[in-house]
Amino acid sequence: ANIRQPIMKTFSCLLVIAAYLIQKTISYSAVPPPQRLKDLLQSELDGTRESNVPILLPCCYDGLTARLVARAGFEATFMTGFGVSAVNGFPDTQLVSFQEMQQACLRVTEGLLSASLEQDGGTPIPCIADGDTGYGNAVNVKRTVHGYARTGVAGIMIEDQVSPKRCGHVAGKSVVPFKEAVQRVKAAADARDEYIQQFGTGTGPLILARTDALKTDGFEAAIERCLAFLEAGADMTFLEAPETVEQMKEYCQRVPGPKLANMLEQGSTPILPPSELKQMGYTMAAYPLTLLSASIKAMEESLRRIAVGEATDDLILPFPKTKDAVGFTRYAQEEGKYRTD
């Protein structure tokens, strides 16, 4: 109990900071993050977004990766539970708790805000965050949606796996029964609407409903779940791990509304060019492990060279660029603005 009290006090302070960041975000754009995401999705659906590729979502998992995605000019991002688990030292098997994921959301939205402030106070890009199974029953799902919303994310993904869930491209996963899956999504949609009632139009995080039923119950069952999730109030759907191009095409043809393609390199789903995904009918394309895997590869090679005394100069950025990437440039500007000597 003596240990938990300071932890809870610290987390309460973080939530106060989160609320402040949300207000700062809204003051810059006058449009809440969920509404910005909704507008972006609508522009892709109605053809007013001028691009030959879907909305690309390089996935982030902490403040630094969020900053890098935003600084690279992407329109949106996705906070991957695989990545958050990994940087906490765990596999993606739901060993990371709701509170730890909520804190990760806060770090990501802080990173997005800091990157936007570097760009002359531009609008932070919206982020969809991985909400796993909602961390319990339908009532837990509602708390998860409310908790994520308070951090400033634009959307939340809720899936139909049995808890503890795992990465959709590894063995051993299973899904809850159809009715329970639908009720889980309905609870998330209700929580979104409750948040809107409390805080105003456009404030409730959009619901991305994911099914992993293809692997366990077959393609038709997965399609049935996606359609039922939309009926239950989901804003977007995600049929995880289709194994053929034909399955990907049929999903896009049969399920209306915004749809997510998961481009996990060396996973179960064919990796296709973004332009081809758009032609199929995908609205978004996520790249869940590209940044994480690339960083692991670079770090392992750096460690190998350090161990044998080899130079690492060709692997690293010039120090000024590293400092700029993590925010020293703006910090120095801000520090100078408020000097008293």
pTM: 0.89
What is the pLDDT averaged over residues 157-163? Answer: 92
Q: What is the mean pLDDT of residues 35-48?
A: 98
Stretch among 7-21, 32-46, 172-186 having the lowest mean pLDDT: 7-21
Q: Average pLDDT over the chain, rounded to whole?
A: 91
Which pLDDT tens digit goes with each residue over 123-142? 999 999 999 999 999 999 99
Per-residue confidence (pLDDT) for residue 16, from 0 to 100: 53
What is the predicted pLDDT for the residue at 94? 86
CB 131 within 8 Å of CB 157: yes
The mean pLDDT of 197-207, rounded to a whole number, is: 97
Per the CB < 8 A criterion, the answer to whether 77 and 59 are in contact is yes
Whose structure tokens read 């996963």? 173
pLDDT for the residue 25:
47
pLDDT band for 19, please (50, 70, 90 cuts).
low
What is the structure's pLDDT at 205? Answer: 98
Asked if pLDDT for residue 40 goes beyond 90, the answer is: yes
Query: What pLDDT was estimated at residue 315?
Result: 96
Cα 309 to Cα 54, 210, 296, 314, 329, distances in angstroms: 45, 47, 20, 14, 32
341 confidence band (pLDDT: 50, 70, 90): confident
Return the bridge partners of 79, or none: 60, 129
pLDDT at 87 over 70: yes
Say which range, 5-19, 68-82, 142-156, 208-222, has the weakest mean pLDDT.
5-19
Which helix (H) or strand (E) element contains residue 164?
Answer: none
Whether residue 212 contacts residue 159, with contact meaning beta carbons closer than 8 Å, is answered with: yes
Three-state SS at 239 = strand
